A and B are shown apart, each in its own frame.
Chain A
Amino acid sequence: MRRYFGRKLLIYGLTFFVAVTVNWMIPRFMPGDPVASMVARANVSQPAAVEAMRAYYTSLFGLDQPLITQYLNFWGALFRGDFGISIWLFPTPVSAVIGGAVPYTLALIVPSVLLSWVVGNRFGAYAARRKLLDNTVLPVGYILTAMPYMWLAVLLAWALGVIAGLFPVAGGYSFSMRPTWSWAFLLDLLHHWTLPFLSLFLVALGGWAIGMRNMIIYELESDYSAYLSALGAPARLIRRYAFRNAVLPQITGLALQLGVLVAGALVTEIVFAYPGLGSLILKAIQNKDFFLLQGTFLFIVLGVLIANFIIDIVYVVVDPRTRAGMAGAQA
Chain B
Amino acid sequence: MSLQVSELRVHYRTLRGDVRALDGMSFELKDGEILGLVGESGCGKSTLGKSLIRMDGRMRHVGGRVVLDGRELPISDDRAMNEVRFKEVSLIPQYAMSALNPTRKIRKMVGELLRSRGAEPDTAELERRMDQVGLPREVLDRYPIELSGGMKQRMVMVISTLLDPSLLIADEVTSALDVSTQKAVARALLGFRESGYVRSMIFVTHDIALTHHIADTIMVMYAGRLAEKAPADVIVKAPRHPYTKLLLDALPEVGVRYAERRLEGIAGSPPSLLNPPAGCRFRDRCPVAGDECAEDPPVVALAPDHHVACWKA
Interface mask (B119-151 → A, CB under 8 Å = 1, otherwise 0): 000000000000000000000001101101000
B84 surroundings in chain A (CB, below 8 A): 232
Interface segment among B6-14, B100-108, B200-208, B300-308: the answer is B100-108
Expressed in whole angstroms, the Cα–Cα distance for A319 and B144 within the complex equals 12
Q: Is B184 an interface residue (CB 8 A)?
A: no
Q: How far is the CB of B71 from chain A (nearest CB, A)?
A: 16
Q: What CA separation (Å) do A330 and B84 show in the bound complex? A: 37
Which segment, of A40-48, A110-118, A219-227, faces chain B?
A219-227
Whether A230 touches B146, Cβ cut-off 8 Å, given contacts A223-B99, A224-B98, A237-B112, is: no
Q: Is the CB of B54 within 8 A of A230?
A: yes
When the two chains form their complex, are residues A224 and B102 in contact, meaning their CB atoms are under 8 A apart?
yes
> Are A245's CB and B143's CB within 8 A?
no
Q: Which of A223, A229, A233, A331 is B148 in contact with, Cβ under 8 Å?
A: A331
- B contact face: mostly helix, strand, loop, or mixed: loop
CB neighbours (8 Å) of B117 from chain A are: 231-233
- Cβ contact within 8 Å between B103 and A329: no
Question: Secondary structure at chain A's binding surface: helix, strand, loop or mixed?
Answer: helix
A234 on interface, CB distance cutoff 8 Å:
yes
Binary flags per residue of B155-174, CB closer than 8 Å to A gives 1, else 0: 01001100000000000000
Which chain A residue has the least Cβ–Cβ distance from B159? A231
Q: Is A7 part of the binding interface, using a Cβ–Cβ cutoff of 8 Å?
A: no
Nearest chain A CB to B19's CB is how many angstroms away? 20
A326 CB within 8 Å of chain B: no
Residues on A with beta carbons closer than 8 Å to the beta carbon of B82: 232, 234
What residue in chain B is nearest A319 (Cβ atoms)? B103
The answer to whether A227 touches B116 (Cβ under 8 A) is no
Partner of B102, one of A228, A320, A329, A331: A320
Q: Mark A315-331, 1 if CB is under 8 A from B, else 0.
A: 00011110010000111
Whether A321 contacts B100 in the complex (CB less than 8 A), given A227-B93, A230-B91, A232-B85, comes out as: no
* Chain B hits for A226, CB < 8 A: 54, 56, 93, 95, 99
B residues 62-117 touching A (CB-CB < 8 Å)? 81-87, 90-91, 93, 95, 98-105, 112-113, 116-117
**Residues A233 and B116 in contact, CB atoms below 8 Å apart:** yes
Residues in chain B near residue A230, CB distance under 8 A: 53-54, 85, 91, 93
Report A-chain residues with C-beta under 8 Å of the C-beta of B99: 223-224, 226-227
Evaluate whether A231 and B113 lie within 8 angstroms (CB atoms) in the complex, with A222-B98, A223-B95, A321-B102 already known.
yes
Residue A16 is within 8 A (CB to CB) of chain B in the complex: no
Identity of the chain B residue whose Cβ is nearest the Cβ of A244 in the assembled complex: B103
CA distance A321 to B95 in the complex (A): 20
Q: Once the chains are docked, how many angstroms separate the CA of A23 from the CA of B85?
A: 63
| Distance from B166 Cβ to chain A, minimum over Cβ atoms (Å) | 14
Q: Given the complex of chains A and B, what is the CA–CA distance between A229 and B95 in angstroms?
A: 14
Most buried by B among A223, A228, A230, A331: A230
Q: Which residues of B contact A227 (CB under 8 A)?
A: 91, 93, 95, 99-100, 156
Chain B hits for A321, CB < 8 A: 102-103, 143, 145
Q: Check A231–B160 contact: CB distance below 8 A.
A: yes
Q: Give complex CA distance A226, B86 in Å.
A: 13
Residues in B with CB closer than 8 Å to A232 are 81-87, 117
B202-218 contacts to A (CB < 8 Å) = none
Cα(A236)–Cα(B99), bound, Å: 18
Q: Is A241 an interface residue (CB 8 A)?
A: yes
Q: Are A237 and B113 in contact (CB under 8 A)?
A: yes
Chain B residues lying within 8 Å of A234, measured Cβ to Cβ, are 82, 116
B86 touches A329 (CB 8 A): no
Closest to B100 in A: A224
State in angstroms the CA–CA spacing of A236 and B160 once bound together.
20
11 further contact pairs, Cβ within 8 A, besides A232-B117, A241-B104, A248-B103: A223-B95, A224-B100, A228-B101, A230-B91, A234-B116, A241-B101, A244-B101, A319-B103, A320-B103, A320-B143, A321-B103
B residues lining the A interface (CB < 8 Å)? 53-54, 56, 81-87, 90-91, 93, 95, 98-105, 112-113, 116-117, 142-143, 145-146, 148, 156, 159-160
The 13 listed contacts between A and B (C-beta, < 8 Å) are A227-B93, A227-B156, A228-B113, A229-B54, A232-B86, A233-B116, A237-B113, A241-B104, A245-B102, A320-B105, A324-B143, A329-B145, A330-B142
Taking Cβ atoms with an 8 Å cutoff, the residues of A that contact B are 222-224, 226-234, 236-237, 241, 244-245, 248, 318-321, 324, 329-331
